[in-house]
Amino acid sequence: MVSRFFKWLLRSIRHLVLRLRGRSVDLSGSQQDAPIEASTISQKPTAAETSEQQASTHQSVVGNDNQVIAKMTGGTVIKNQTILPTPAPSVVGVPNNLQERGSTTFVGRDQTLKELHEKLQASHTLAITALQGMGGIGKTELAVQYAQQYKSHYPSGICWLSARGAEVGTQIVKFAVDALGLPQPEGELDAQLQFVWSHWPKQAKGDRVLLIYDDVADEIGEDTQQKIAAYDTIKAALPVDSRFQVLLTTRLRNVAATVDDFQIELLSEAAALELLEVIVGKTRIDSERETAQALCERVGYLPLGLELLGYFLTNKPDMTLSRQEQRLEKKKLEAKAFEKAHPGMTAKLGVYEAFELSWGELSGDGQRLACWLSLFALAPMPWELVAAATVTDEREDLEDTRDYELLKLSLLQRLEAESYQLHQLVREFFLAKLNEREDSDELKVNYCGLMVERAKQIDQSATQEVTQATTLVVPHVAEVINSWSDSLSDEDFFWPFSGLTFFYYAQGIYGVAVGWAAQAAISTKERFGEQHPSVASSLNNLAVLYESQGRYEAAEPLYLEALELLKQLLGEQHPDVATSLNNLALLYQAQGRYETAENFMQQALQIKEKLLGQGHPEFAISLWSLANLYTSTERFAEAESLYFKTLAIFTDRLGEQHPNTRSAFNGLVNLIAAAIQADQADTLSDHPMTQDLIPKIRTAMENQDE
């Protein structure tokens, strides 16, 4: 027993010497120079502190059974004195095993560090705080920087522990022996830990201890092959004394009910740009500042991505930022800039490898949902839209997969109620995994089918309420065109273009609507060639938009081209040909070319009468158009007759409250008002409705004039 004590004594003396030299102790047994705090260099201990330290060095240490061992007094060993177990001699400085951890390019987190410190210091009981966030967001680096910058607040020690795939308890005991100078405890690990917690030395300036458990994650048991929850992997190695402050880093949300999440956010745009400047150099960034900003956005302001990109550029002095941006756009996560960490970085993995750790923790259902989400645009995703392709009975299971896997592992962001989004680099990772799946094509086809159905629900007469509900769906419909058009069937190909065109048209955003209509015309010709009904439809839609902007000369040739194409493909007696004729007629009416307009309207009316009959709502629409034309040319009696025919058909087939019926009635009111204004009310018929309306409209007009 005495021999074991002398071994401990020699180790304690060696440790004391190292402390006086300002060295930190590695758990592996090696010693490295550690930075000495300015306060340690510039300040001498006070008399009170010296007294406390001297008193501490006179405290006793014994082995098992409270045997008589030894007592230190000024370096002299006095035998045969019975003493109680007490802590080991105090150490100089803050005992820690941080070594040279920490990046020299740490920026943009000062406020976060301050908030973290306030949170840790606010508790007077044992508090466990988890730095939580997605892979690559800088949890470990933040923990390192906190420990380094706030070291003086933990005079009794800072212990760094690697939690993933390692025995944390053994690391704690080793730290206690190597860094604190405690004797090697005996017994099982639980008993050793209890000894360490109860004998952890106290410093004169305070007794706070910081324990950092880095990368806490779920694990698979070696014996049972069952998943062990992250908290359970470290639970047995957690202290119970309130003097210990516990900080975890983890990708998991809600590790345990007793753990408070401290969520780490992405860098701001300014901080991201500053990080690139620190690594690459301000001169180089300033020479292509807009491109540098685009690169920051390209990596989604993720610290790991920015660091990897920055160090890659430092090794490529002739690489312009614009050229690097093009490479990233082309190769995504496969770009060399994201492949591996560089010397000096806290992170040891590339972006893909970092995400792979989380991917490996997903179940089969979790991986399938992740790949499904990757098909959506990089925009907020309404959960109702995500789940729409799932049968109702399976939606609860889908929500569980979302909540307990993707959200928990920080692979999916919850923006607000029922709205979610992927980080850009996570989405690219999921897309890479999607392309490895056997059901990849099936998922793409299903996505396109879902968006086509939503596109069909959009039209140019959509109400404001419908338009607002559709706004969140629009980016994901557009993604079909931008990324997945090859998975659209021929019959569905035109619908996403049409839906987007009508969506923006309904809001009066004609420039964007024209853009989609023009792209539809180009894309349909590329896919089907010049001779296809979808080509005619795209030409017609583009012409409608030009007309709405008053660009009549641009609209007319498109209308004519669409009309001729439809006649060739469908024959002259077809409803689509009639619609095309009517569109041309309305254009000519807007130009004041009334005779030509009437000619085309009469042709459209004849086709619909022949194919659909005089009682069909489509026939009524042609009557309505002709009635409006007659009103414009002051042929009031003919217009009145057509309005009554239109109202009769709409009322019979659609009902009195239908929007078309009401619009037709408003057309009749406008006709009567125009006739009164032209002093031709006497040319109207004796129809009871007309005669009832004339005095009312006249009075309303007179009151308006007053």
What's the pLDDT tens digit per position in 91-128?
457 899 997 666 778 899 999 999 999 999 887 777 89
pLDDT at 463: 64
How far is the C-alpha of 553 from the C-alpha of 545, rounded, in Å?
12
As a whole number of angstroms, the distance between CA 572 and CA 563 comes to 9
Structure tokens at 399: 């929500």
What is the pLDDT confidence band of residue 506, given thresholds at 50, 70 and 90? confident
The b/e string for 142-165 (b: 16+ C-beta within 10 A; e otherwise) is bbbbbbbebbebbbbbbbbbebbe
- For the segment 427-435, the average pLDDT, to the nearest whole number, is 96
Multiple choice CATH, 2-263, 3.40.50.1010, 3.40.50.80, 1.20.210.10, 3.40.50.300: 3.40.50.300
Note the pLDDT of residue 225: 66
Rg (CA), the chain: 39
Q: What is the mean pLDDT of the chain?
A: 85
Paired sense of beta strands 76-78 and 71-73, if any: antiparallel
pLDDT tens profile 621-667: 999 999 999 999 999 999 999 999 999 999 999 999 999 999 999 99
557 compared with 392, residue with greater pLDDT: 557
Of 57-61, 325-329, 523-527, 680-684, which range is least confident? 57-61
- Residue 534 and residue 492 in contact, taking contact as beta carbons nearer than 8 Å: no
Grade residue 65 by pLDDT with cuts at 50, 70 and 90: very low
Does the pLDDT of residue 297 top 60, yes or no? yes
Cβ count near 604 (within 10 Å): 25
pLDDT digit string, tens, across residues 574-611: 999 999 999 999 999 999 999 999 999 999 999 999 99
Q: Which of 58-72, 146-160, 340-354, 660-674 has the lowest mean pLDDT?
A: 58-72
Residue spans per domain, the chain: 2-263, 269-351, 362-437, 622-706
Structure tokens at 576: 């689509």
pLDDT of residue 562 exceeding 70:
yes
User: Using an 8 Å Cβ cutoff, are 370 and 361 in contact?
Assistant: no
Rounded to an integer, what distance in angstroms lies between the CA atom of residue 459 and that of residue 448? 19
Determine which helix (DSSP H) or strand (DSSP E) holds 583, and give its type and residue range: helix 575-590
Position 372 pLDDT exceeds 80: yes
CB 386 within 8 A of CB 420: yes
Strands (E), 333-412: 381-382
3-state secondary structure (DSSP) of residue 63: coil
How many Cβ atoms from other residues are within 10 Å of residue 66's Cβ? 11
Please say whether the beta carbons of 520 and 501 come within 8 A. Answer: yes
Read off the pLDDT of each residue in 409-414 and give the average, rounded to a whole number. 95
Which pair of structure tokens corresponds to residue 623? 């009557």
pLDDT score recorded for residue 664: 93
Q: What percent of the chain has pLDDT above 90?
A: 70
DSSP class of residue 89 equals P
Q: What is the pLDDT of residue 646?
A: 96
Residue 32 has, within 13 A of its CA and on its CB side, a CA count of: 11
In angstroms, the CA 365 to CA 362 distance is 8
For residues 163 and 41, the answer to whether their CB atoms sit within 8 Å is no
Three-class DSSP category at 679:
coil
What phi-psi label fits residue 91: left (phi over 0), alpha (psi between -120 and 50 degrees) or beta? Answer: beta
The helix/strand/coil state of 87 is: coil
State the residue for tokens 């419908």: 466
Q: Beta partners for 249?
A: 131
Average pLDDT, integer, range 58-65? 33
Q: 512-539 pLDDT, tens per residue? A: 999 999 999 999 999 999 899 989 999 9
Chain center to CA of 526: 34
Q: Which pLDDT belongs to residue 35?
A: 34
- Two tokens, residue 213: 């458990």
Do 2-263 and 362-437 fold alike per CATH? no
Domain covering 362-437 assigned CATH 1.10.10 in the classification: yes
Other C-beta atoms closer than 10 Å to the C-beta of 206 total 13
Q: Are 539 and 565 in contact (CB under 8 A)?
A: yes
Contact 500, 478 (CB under 8 A): yes
For residue 582, the Cα-to-chain-centroid distance in whole angstroms is 46
Assign 490 to helix, strand or coil.
coil
